[in-house]
Chain A
């Protein structure tokens, strides 16, 4: 077991000016499950490949435990890329399928058997050890592949979008299995995905990257409750946060006919770049539905209601009364908002409802830099 440290690690591809990964500083604790997440091209896979030794590090260092591995060959780093290759051999027993890499490395037979049995116990495969892979279900075969990595007892597991070629159902199942297995094994794991739901459900901590730059790292709860900038706010959470930029007049943000008080302490922090504007975000569940006639209501025309049983979401447009409609964007698009409503009282399509952001549940960001106040 070991920690993993990216110390100002930078990767610049030949012929490009902007680094693919720009001075990444990240410390992964021993036994931690860290998820690297971000949109395509953000540098998450490059970061993982730098850790694996597949990408050169142009500046900075990478450490596994106290050992500087920046210039160490991939096979000598004591890491395992899990799920990269999980073809199973049909004529070998499950035990041999799990232990063959140890056999190649010349590990004594008794040791191999012991490690395979231990891994099988954790993976619930003990009773299948002497069978052929043909006798196993799809999920069990995946666990055998995982067992291959486990018996090598690496310091760190690396997983690069391991679920991307599974169908939706198996993806959700495997997601849970990997997460719980990792906790049982306690092996430090770095996991890459573009899917923020996967990140939220699996990681002890999440690191969000964009354009090669680390945006924020924290627990799923921290990322959700206190996003450090507008990008993280919009990226984490599904449906996404509603985000809008408003002018601030007399200590109030003007939302159409509604005026939301903005604290003095926030206004004091305004910079020139902000031009007296504030960017405000509110999650779909951070609003109350009130009569549209209420003077504090923001009117929303219902375009679509998504009913999920336990929840219902209104996808709506803002009306013309709402002066800054075009400055609002959400997961549904520009001038659109997504609002969670009581699933037992859903409005009809075309109806106008009134919403009010619950006090203290808005997120305020600098209009200029996008940083959180």
Chain B
């Protein structure tokens, strides 16, 4: 009997014909080096590989058929409700080897450009606040997921990717295998997710310490606990009922302003008064993250991280004041700022250095650099001059972060190039 031939079934929203060119008849573990972008390093339950597809990089994970379809659907739903997560490309089933042996289904996701695995951010020279910023970013992600009714089930640093967002990070969900989308989460689901997160983070940090990538005196338990505290504070600020006397109605606007400062828009605020009308109770019912990034998008069309947007908006405000155009329509001023300030500055970066950082992140660093130069020279250094100095002295020493793949903690240091990939370290 001749072996059963391969009959691929591809499920994808926007199928790319180039998908058919990948060697699906070979177990992922044995894929030839020329198809791979890099080998992943770190901890994963499944075989995962990065491959090149139509000029971009995709992550491919071998996983059971039902689970693959389920995770694909979940990632699509997360995309629809606008939660930061990796973008699913598709599921391929029906794989067989030339001998007719059935091979596992695969889930394909887009590699998130300029994203950093947490391991890449830790090295011997870890700045103490990097850990805090990662934890903050993860707490924001977890709150956003929970607000949307998503129970993660396996929150950890390894199931998250981080993107620089001005001086902070923005966290993206990478692995939704254990997740579930509900109308609303129970207290128990939130508490369990948070406890899993705490234990996993501490475990991951202890692992970095065991591998001597993180100073032994860093308190892993305290960092894990900090996540729980950050999460709880943010959850309370976003959902808590607040009551006050009828005369203190200014507190309604104050609450909205406070949420905006935290980066959230209030979509729906529940306001009730008691029978005699002396007490007012308010509770945000719908809050959406991305207050600043939405505003910047509306004004300039730039799609950037929340804190990058905050920084850019500040610069826009300064520009408005400096050019004495406060009375003018904001969108006109924004247009002039975009074409006269932002774009020329970013364009000064030579092509070969553009893979270092995202444009908005470069602009953020440029602003920092200009501030630093101005302070040093005790004068207002013009943007053009600052950009020249930044491109010459700072940017070339930064690692290429466009596609950080297969890195190990400590591999990524200032000035280093893509690390050489040796032995695969997938465990689980």
Query: Pick the contact of A166 from B64, B178, B206 — CB < 8 Å?
Result: B64
- B191 within 8 Å of A (CB atoms): yes
Minimal beta-carbon separation of A290 from chain B (angstroms): 34
Query: Pick the contact of A89 from B153, B199, B206 — CB < 8 Å?
Result: B206
Q: Give per-residue flags for B47-90: 1 if the beta carbon is below 8 A from chain A beta carbons, else 0.
A: 00000000000000001101100000000000000000000000
The answer to whether B104 touches A167, judged by C-beta atoms less than 8 angstroms apart, is: yes
The answer to whether A74 touches B192, judged by C-beta atoms less than 8 angstroms apart, is: yes
- B374 within 8 Å of A (CB atoms): no
- Residue ID in chain A nearest B154 by CB atoms: A85
Query: Pick the contact of B210 from A52, A74, A89, A134 — CB < 8 Å?
Result: A89
Q: Scan residues 78-109 of chain A and give those whose CB is less than 8 A from a CB of chain B.
A: 84-93, 96, 100-101, 103-104
- Residue ID in chain A nearest B62 by CB atoms: A167
Q: Scan residues 156-175 of chain B and give those whose CB is less than 8 A from a CB of chain A.
A: 156, 158
The answer to whether A74 touches B195, judged by C-beta atoms less than 8 angstroms apart, is: yes
Query: With A84-B178, A134-B425 in contact, is A52–B192 under 8 Å at CB?
Result: yes
Query: With A74-B192, A92-B207, A165-B67 in contact, is A86–B178 under 8 Å at CB?
Result: no
The answer to whether B427 touches A134, judged by C-beta atoms less than 8 angstroms apart, is: yes
Query: With A53-B192, A74-B191, A134-B427 in contact, is A164–B64 under 8 Å at CB?
Result: yes
Query: Pick the contact of B207 from A52, A74, A75, A90 — CB < 8 Å?
Result: A90
Query: With A87-B428, A88-B428, A90-B427 in contact, is A53–B67 under 8 Å at CB?
Result: no
A204-B28 Cα distance, complex, nearest whole Å: 39
The answer to whether A55 touches B427, judged by C-beta atoms less than 8 angstroms apart, is: no
The answer to whether A87 touches B45, judged by C-beta atoms less than 8 angstroms apart, is: yes
Among the interface residues A14, A87, A103, which one has the most CB atoms of the partner chain B within 10 A? A87
- A227 within 8 Å of B (CB atoms): no
The answer to whether A164 touches B195, judged by C-beta atoms less than 8 angstroms apart, is: no
- Residue ID in chain B nearest A104 by CB atoms: B202
- A296 within 8 Å of B (CB atoms): no
A52-B180 Cα distance, complex, nearest whole Å: 16
- B358 within 8 Å of A (CB atoms): no
The answer to whether A73 touches B191, judged by C-beta atoms less than 8 angstroms apart, is: yes
Among the interface residues B63, B156, B189, B200, which one has the most CB atoms of the partner chain A within 10 A? B189
- A360 within 8 Å of B (CB atoms): no
- Residue ID in chain B nearest A81 by CB atoms: B192
A87-B151 Cα distance, complex, nearest whole Å: 19
- A295 within 8 Å of B (CB atoms): no
**Hey, which chain B residues are within 8 Å of A118, CB to CB?**
none
Q: Give per-residue flags for B168-211: 1 if the beta carbon is below 8 A from chain A beta carbons, else 0.
A: 00000000011000011011110110011001101110111011
Query: With A84-B154, A87-B43, A101-B199 in contact, is A54–B208 under 8 Å at CB?
Result: no
- B224 within 8 Å of A (CB atoms): yes
**Hey, which chain B residues are within 8 Å of A101, CB to CB?**
199, 203
Minimal beta-carbon separation of B30 from chain A (angstroms): 16
**Hey, which chain A residues are within 8 Å of B42, CB to CB?**
90
The answer to whether A87 touches B158, judged by C-beta atoms less than 8 angstroms apart, is: yes
**Hey, which chain B residues are within 8 Å of A92, CB to CB?**
206-207, 210
A56-B45 Cα distance, complex, nearest whole Å: 30
- B221 within 8 Å of A (CB atoms): yes
Query: With A74-B188, A165-B67 in contact, is A88–B43 under 8 Å at CB?
Result: yes
**Hey, which chain B residues are within 8 Å of A74, CB to CB?**
188, 191-192, 195
- B125 within 8 Å of A (CB atoms): no
Minimal beta-carbon separation of B172 from chain A (angstroms): 18
The answer to whether A54 touches B428, judged by C-beta atoms less than 8 angstroms apart, is: no
The answer to whether B67 touches A164, judged by C-beta atoms less than 8 angstroms apart, is: yes
The answer to whether A86 touches B186, judged by C-beta atoms less than 8 angstroms apart, is: no
Among the interface residues B178, B191, B204, which one has the most CB atoms of the partner chain A within 10 A? B191
Query: Pick the contact of A13 from B44, B178, B183, B427 — CB < 8 Å?
Result: B183
The answer to whether B188 touches A100, judged by C-beta atoms less than 8 angstroms apart, is: no
Query: With A86-B428, A134-B427, A165-B64 in contact, is A91–B207 under 8 Å at CB?
Result: yes
The answer to whether A91 touches B203, judged by C-beta atoms less than 8 angstroms apart, is: no
Q: Scan residues 5-54 of chain B and give those whose CB is less than 8 A from a CB of chain A.
A: 42-46
The answer to whether A75 touches B427, judged by C-beta atoms less than 8 angstroms apart, is: no
- A141 within 8 Å of B (CB atoms): yes
- Residue ID in chain B nearest A56 by CB atoms: B186
The answer to whether A88 touches B200, judged by C-beta atoms less than 8 angstroms apart, is: no
Query: Pick the contact of B184 from A14, A89, A133 — CB < 8 Å?
Result: A14
The answer to whether A88 touches B427, judged by C-beta atoms less than 8 angstroms apart, is: yes
Query: With A85-B178, A90-B425 in contact, is A75–B192 under 8 Å at CB?
Result: yes
The answer to whether B188 touches A165, judged by C-beta atoms less than 8 angstroms apart, is: no
- Residue ID in chain B nearest A141 by CB atoms: B428
Query: With A56-B188, A104-B221 in contact, is A89–B154 under 8 Å at CB?
Result: no
- A15 within 8 Å of B (CB atoms): yes
Query: Pick the contact of B195 from A56, A75, A93, A96 — CB < 8 Å?
Result: A75
Q: What are 14 A-B interface contacts by the 8 Å CB criterion?
A: A52-B192, A54-B189, A56-B188, A73-B187, A74-B191, A74-B195, A85-B153, A87-B44, A88-B43, A89-B43, A141-B427, A164-B67, A165-B45, A165-B67
The 3 A-B pairs at the shortest CB distance, nearest first, are namely: A91-B211, A89-B207, A91-B210
Residues of A within 8 A of B (CB): 13-15, 52-56, 73-75, 84-93, 96, 100-101, 103-104, 133-134, 141, 164-167
Give 7 A-B pairs besides A55-B189, A133-B428 with Cβ atoms closer than 8 angstroms: A52-B192, A53-B191, A74-B188, A89-B207, A89-B427, A90-B211, A167-B64
